[in-house]
Amino acid sequence: MSSAQSVVLLGASGLLGGALARTLGGRVALRTHLAHSLPGGVRFDARSSSVAELLQGRGARPQAAVVLLGITNIDACAKDPGGTAAVNVHGVTRVIRELSALGVLPVFTSSDAVFDGTRASSSEEDEARPILTYGRQKHDVERFMASLEGPWLAVRLPKLLEPVLDGWIRDLAQDKVIECATDQFFTPAAADDAAHAIVALLDKGVRGLRHIAGPERLSRRELLRAVVEEYRKFSEPRASIRECLLRDIKLAEPRPLDTSMRSVHKLPPLQAASAVARAYVRQHFARA
């Protein structure tokens, strides 16, 4: 694979960064990190680091750079909108502007948090009306990308399954109460599936805004039910589950109720979330 077809992963120390690195394999030109060190990675700060200096002396210009930079904790963004916007908006747009000027395709990872949660199965053609600080920050970057003169790709991602499943599996083994909202709906996906979809869009030359979402719209409670049913095949849960409404859970900002998405464009098939959840539980007990 020539360096002209290579991809830079900016902010690659997280879950999706790892999945993209696995999917791209030898096509990864370099990976960057900031707070969490990454073996073989290069430190890069969205607020101050130079893309030109990062790429200098690394041979032919890479095809694209996937921008994973940012503070993704929703409550952290709500509690410090100015401080997080310095990274999530000002820093990210600065990096994207520099990538575009260098002739490197910027690929921005946005979020289903750009929707207000009042409708199901939002498409790329539906208006984004974020009610979360984090969602407004993502939407600000989307609007900036649409103003670029050069080509760009932005992908709205759903909630990734692995952190949710890890938390539930850990909690089910403890004497505690799991609060679970029955009125929150989404189209979650596994990180590896999301990564494969991003790379497929990139390789097909897709540009503009695209949704990547799991094929299954389900509630948080339905997803937890699938986890518990599979868990019971191996062990009896110690935790109890308290059903509630999303508004009953103490959060820094009210969350949108339905961030389920669909795409008006044909995308690579993703696995259904409930099937991923059951397989994830089986893998957990196989490792135990």
How far is the C-alpha of 205 from the C-alpha of 188, rounded, in Å? Answer: 25
Please give the share of the chain, as a percent, with pLDDT higher than 90: 92
Q: Specify the 3-state DSSP secondary structure of 59.
A: coil
Main-chain phi, psi angles of 161, to 5 degrees? -70, -35
Name the residue among 69, 31, 64, 29 with its Cα closest to residue 48: 69
CA 267 to chain centre: 17
pLDDT at 198: 97
pLDDT above 90: residue 266: no
pLDDT at 3: 42
If you write DSSP's letter for every residue of 170-192 in order, what string do you get?
HHHTSSSEEEEESS-EE--B-HH
CATH 3.40.50.720 fits 3-159+190-216+259-270, yes or no: yes
Strands 42-43 and 28-33, sheet pairing: parallel
CA 258 to chain centre: 17
Question: Any idea what DSSP says for residue 79?
Answer: H
pLDDT digits (tens, 9 = 90+) for 73-131: 999 999 999 999 999 999 999 999 999 999 999 999 999 999 999 999 999 999 999 99
Residue 92 corresponds to which amino acid? Answer: V
Q: Span 120-146, mean pLDDT?
A: 97
On the CB side of 106, how many CA atoms lie within 13 Å of its CA? 30
pLDDT digits (tens, 9 = 90+) for 184-237: 999 999 999 999 999 999 999 999 999 999 999 999 999 999 999 999 999 999
Domain boundaries, the chain: 3-159+190-216+259-270
Main-chain phi, psi angles of 186, to 5 degrees? -155, 180
How far is the C-alpha of 267 from the C-alpha of 277, rounded, in Å? Answer: 22
How far is the C-alpha of 218 from the C-alpha of 260, rounded, in Å? Answer: 8
Model confidence at 1, pLDDT cuts 50, 70, 90, reads very low
pLDDT above 50: residue 72: yes
